[in-house]
Every structure is written in C-alpha cells, then in structure tokens.
Amino acid sequence: AQREWEANMPLPSGASVDESVLDDAGEPKAHEWVSNSEAASCFLTGTKFTLTNRRHHCRYCGQCFVSAVSSKKIAIPALGFKEAVR
C-alpha cells in the first residue's frame, strides 16, 4: 500500500525509498534544526550571522543559511509542507 506522502512525492521509475530516513510508522523523519548557538555562520557560504545578517533554518536539512542562500522556496510534501517553504 502506498503511504500518503508517497502519493504526494512520486519517485522516478525504478527508484525506491531509503527506509533509513523513515520513522517506525513509515513516515519521513524531519531533520533536527541546528541550534542557533552551533550556527555562527552560513553552512554554505561561511558568512557570519549578525543582528542584520540573520540566519534562516532550512526545513529540509535543518542547517542555517543567510537570506541570499535561503531566498528560494519549494514544497516538501514528504515532511508535510505542501506549500512552498524556505
């Protein structure tokens, strides 16, 4: 039986789900967000966060990015985000 999130996120032909990313109920595990104290700079660019250069957590991977990097949005149905999110 197909799980609800699988219907919202069709896989390419022949692809399969890595079961290690699923919880005991067969739902995708959300990544834990990196704590603000652990993220002094952007994960991608290394730019330091300041009062004016704010951090943004990626809802998919949990890392922190500067706004220029996280300005794009995408739906993540597997994590319950049917509308586009950062």
Q: What is the pTM of this model?
A: 0.59
What Cα–Cα distance (Å) separates residue 84 from each residue in 15, 38, 71, 73? 24, 26, 11, 5
Mean pLDDT of 18-30: 70
| The pLDDT of residue 52 is above 90 | yes
Q: Is 19 left (phi over 0), alpha (psi -120 to 50) or beta?
A: alpha
